[in-house]
Amino acid sequence: MKNTPSRFAPISDRLSGLGAAKWAVHVEGLDRAAAGKKVTFLSIGEPDLPPPASVLDQAVASMRGGRLKYAAGQGEQVALDAIAAHLSRRSGQEVSPDQIVYTAGTQNGLCTVLMTLVQSGDEVLVPDPYYATYEGLVAASGATFVPVPTLPEDGFHVTAKQIEAAITPRSRVLLLNTPSNPTGAVLSQNEIDEIGEVCERHDLWIVVDEVYADLTYGAPFCSPFDRPHLRHRTLAVSSISKSHALPGFRAGWIASQLEVTPRLVLVAEAMLFGSQPFIEDALAVALSQRHPEVERLSSAFRDRAHHLVSAFEGSSAAKARMPEGGMFIMVDIRETGMSGEEFAWKLINEHDIVVMPGESFGKGGAGHIRLALTNDAAVLREAGSRIRAAAEAVSASR
């Protein structure tokens, strides 16, 4: 057979097949809902509470005021100043606006970072379970995705030892996510220092996805970017998608050491060449003022998590623990003998409840399902009780 050269670069081949299977149950739920069936969705992590009115007002005022031209490639000064001030307040250490690159959300920020740091032949270490888009992000850069297994018994907290065991001479980046989607794990300062010590020894970049930084439920948030001895090797990426319930704004940032910023800007400009100035103005208002809506949002998620977790209290067939942060809980259904995927199909087919199989987030999620806290407490509690009863029935019939 004649060997015709492909008309496409390998990137789309690398990306194909990475997404669809993860979302099969959710997509089936959407189809059934569109056909008129009453379905409860616990699958998607889109904040369901209102964003701050003053942030929306600023976006409209800026749009009407003519802030509609091309923005600066690194970001508008007003946004860079607000992000730097936000991170300086958080860490108690000076962060300069020159260390910030504005991005179209965390996803775009992570893509910019990986394209800047790694290429084919390099390895990116990722604690498993991991956020569903990470495999695609790493594949897009050409680098190799290396999952680092974590254990449910440790609350899915990755340890320095687990990371060190996965390091090879090709390892370049450790991609962390704290608070974690899907596991709810929040890394402590001590854990970050131990992990940081391994990264120092092996000269790895630390890339940290902090999109849930403002949603913690007791465990204090800690970033490697805020640790003075780790800042030079850390790139911290976040957005106002979750904290301010504004995912559609696509408004986020990368914070890094000064020398990295110009390289990130080159890649960011190649992709977008500037964002929307009126959205950047709104992000500045989001980060510079206190908003009652933001406080309500984080206390609502905490309250919902308590309600949902309490539905599983005392069950050995479906075990859930309070997440330390984020918008999800993982339910351990290994006792049923089913995989997370089998159990998720059972829930949609027999109970009209849509959840994400743990396996959608890597091998580490096996035997679990992920529930999103994006529903009223009463709905969550009721769905939780039905999921528990379903798991107990399977367990009892074994």
- Chain contacts with ligand PLP (rule: CB under 6 A): 45, 105-107, 131, 177, 181, 209, 211, 239, 241, 247, 252
Exposure of 270 by Cβ count < 10 A (0-12 exposed, 13-18 middle, 19+ buried)? exposed
Q: Which is nearer to ligand PLP, 39 or 208 (CB)?
A: 208
Quickly list H helices, 237-276: 261-271
User: Least distance from C-beta 161 to ligand PLP, angstroms?
Assistant: 24
Q: What are the angstrom distances between the C-alpha of 362 and each of 151, 189, 202, 365?
A: 12, 25, 25, 6
Q: Which is nearer to ligand PLP, 231 or 242 (CB)?
A: 242
User: Least distance from C-beta 108 to ligand PLP, angstroms?
Assistant: 6
User: Least distance from C-beta 239 to ligand PLP, angstroms?
Assistant: 3
Q: Which is nearer to ligand PLP, 209 or 332 (CB)?
A: 209
Q: Which is nearer to ligand PLP, 40 or 112 (CB)?
A: 112
Q: How far is 112 from 269, CA to CA, in rounded Å?
A: 10
Find, among 99, 105, 74, the residue nearest to 84 by Cα: 99
Q: Which is nearer to ligand PLP, 252 or 357 (CB)?
A: 252
User: Least distance from C-beta 8 to ligand PLP, angstroms?
Assistant: 26
User: Least distance from C-beta 307 to ligand PLP, angstroms?
Assistant: 21
Q: Which is nearer to ligand PLP, 278 or 361 (CB)?
A: 361
User: Least distance from C-beta 395 to ligand PLP, angstroms?
Assistant: 30
Amino acid at 35: A
- 77 within 8 A of 52, measured Cβ to Cβ: no
User: Least distance from C-beta 225 to ligand PLP, angstroms?
Assistant: 16
Quickly list H helices, 142-276: 160-166, 189-201, 261-271
User: Least distance from C-beta 314 to ligand PLP, angstroms?
Assistant: 30
For residue 235, the 8-state DSSP code is E
The helices-and-strands tally (H runs, E runs) of the chain is 13, 13
Find, among 201, 200, 264, the residue nearest to 237 by Cα: 264
Q: Is 82 helix (H, G, I), strand (E, B) or coil?
A: helix
Q: Which is nearer to ligand PLP, 107 or 315 (CB)?
A: 107
Q: How far is 267 from 329, CA to CA, in rounded Å?
A: 35
Q: Which is nearer to ligand PLP, 135 or 209 (CB)?
A: 209
For residue 6, the 8-state DSSP code is P
Which residues fall within 8 angstroms of residue 235, CB to CB, at 6 or more apart? 113, 117, 205, 206, 207, 208, 225, 254, 255, 256, 260, 264
